[in-house]
Structure 1
Amino acid sequence: MALKKTTVMVEEEDLRAVKEAAEREGRSEAEYFREAFHIVALRSRRWDGDWDIPTLDFGGPVSAADVDAAVTDAVAEKP
């Protein structure tokens, strides 16, 4: 994907934190900003229309204890 150059105003404290993290982790500051923009883009995405999410019928209500027991059994059966 092509990159587009932009200018962004940020709080000095935030910029200092990014600079420190970049130096500490051996990443570029630009990489952090691209990651931040990507996270915001994903979080703000909206989809048109309804989602086709299947409905599951367990034949009655499922309690927290039922879920705990199912998870415990699944973990215990792990190879």
Structure 2
Amino acid sequence: MALKRTNVYADDSDLALIKEAAARLGLSEAEIIREGIHRIALAHRVWDEPFVSDDETFDLGDPMNRGDIGSTLTEGYEAREHRNRNHAA
């Protein structure tokens, strides 16, 4: 990975946190800053295609409450375990 030099302005309090983290982790302050830039760049990335297609999703119907979600997950888990047991034999 080629690195390119740039200048940024930062708050004193942020720089102090970076200095503390670098010392605690045994890294350079520059490495902490590069990691932060990389993470925020990924967080704001826009993908050309959706993560899943409409064919890969399903409609659960009406809004679900906590109990509905729990029972749906449990049923899905049990169904998968049942399939896995049958294929393992």
Q: Distance in 2 between matches of 1:71 and 1:18?
A: 41
C-alpha deviation, 1:4, in angstroms: 0.8
Q: Distance in 1 between matches of 2:35 and 2:17?
A: 15
Q: Distance in 1 between matches of 2:7 and 2:25?
A: 24
C-alpha deviation, 1:44, in angstroms: 2.4
**TM-score, normalization by structure 2:** 0.63
C-alpha deviation, 1:14, in angstroms: 0.8
**TM-score, normalization by structure 1:** 0.69
Gap runs ≥5 in structure 1: none
Q: Does the C-alpha gap of structure 1 residues 7 and 67 become closer, same or farther in structure 2, counting only changes over 3 Å?
A: same
Identity fraction in percent: 43
Per the alignment, residue 6 of structure 1 pairs with 6
Pairing of 1:1-79 with structure 2 (within 5 A): 1-48=1-48, 51=50, 53-54=53-54, 55-58=57-60, 60-61=61-62, 63-64=64-65, 65-72=67-74, 74=77
C-alpha deviation, 1:3, in angstroms: 0.9
Count of residue correspondences: 74
Gap runs ≥5 in structure 2: 82-89
